[in-house]
Amino acid sequence: MHELSIAQEIVRIVAKEGASVHAVRVIGASVSVGRLMAIETDNLLFCLDVLKKNDPLTEHTVFMVEEERLQLRCKACGHVTVTGEFLFACEVCRSQGVDVIGGEQLEVSCLEVECDEDWRETECDGEA
């Protein structure tokens, strides 16, 4: 189950990014997972739920995982096929000469954090 090591890295990134903006907690985190990563969403969410409890910044974080579908551009006709299946062929001309243009990503795409109000005021005062 490679979801465990992936979840460890996601929680590490979320905690690090939360700390970098002086968050008191990370409320939510969205993770974008490409279909080609072959990650079981339920397994990943389970691992994230267990691992998030090891850090005060992430212990209450709600993780959302969005699976990005496979996107293929046909070399013969230029059509872009979007699919949730592992079929590497153009849906229009059936050519197998395709380039993968989407579905390979694994990224923390969005964070929602709660910051200490005193810190925000200090930072804003310092920048003005």
Q: Maximum distance among all alpha carbons in the chain? A: 61
The mean pLDDT value for 21-34 works out to 94
CATH of the domain at 33: 3.30.2320.50
Question: Is 91 a member of any domain?
Answer: no
Question: Is 96 a member of any domain?
Answer: no
Q: State both tokens at 42.
A: 């339920």
Q: Which is nearest to 65 in space by CA: 35, 100, 24, 20?
A: 35
Q: How many domains does the chain have?
A: 1
CB 19 within 8 A of CB 11: no
State pLDDT tens for residues 82-112. 998 888 999 999 999 999 999 999 999 999 9
Q: Residues 75, 79, 80, CA angle at the centre, nearest 5°?
A: 100
Question: Is 90 a member of any domain?
Answer: no
> pLDDT tier at 117 (50, 70, 90 boundaries)?
low
**Residue 23 domain boundaries:** 3-69+101-127
> pLDDT tier at 121 (50, 70, 90 boundaries)?
very low
Question: Residue 69: pLDDT above 70?
Answer: yes
Question: Is 87 a member of any domain?
Answer: no
Question: Is 11 a member of any domain?
Answer: yes
> pLDDT tier at 122 (50, 70, 90 boundaries)?
very low
In degrees and rounded to multiples of 5, residue 125 shows phi and psi of: -65, -40
Q: Would you say the pTM of this structure is higher than 0.85?
A: no
Average pLDDT, the chain: 89
Question: What distance in Å separates the CA atoms of residue 48 and residue 79, rounded to the nearest whole number?
Answer: 37
Question: What distance in Å separates the CA atoms of residue 112 and residue 23, rounded to the nearest whole number?
Answer: 9
Question: Is 86 a member of any domain?
Answer: no
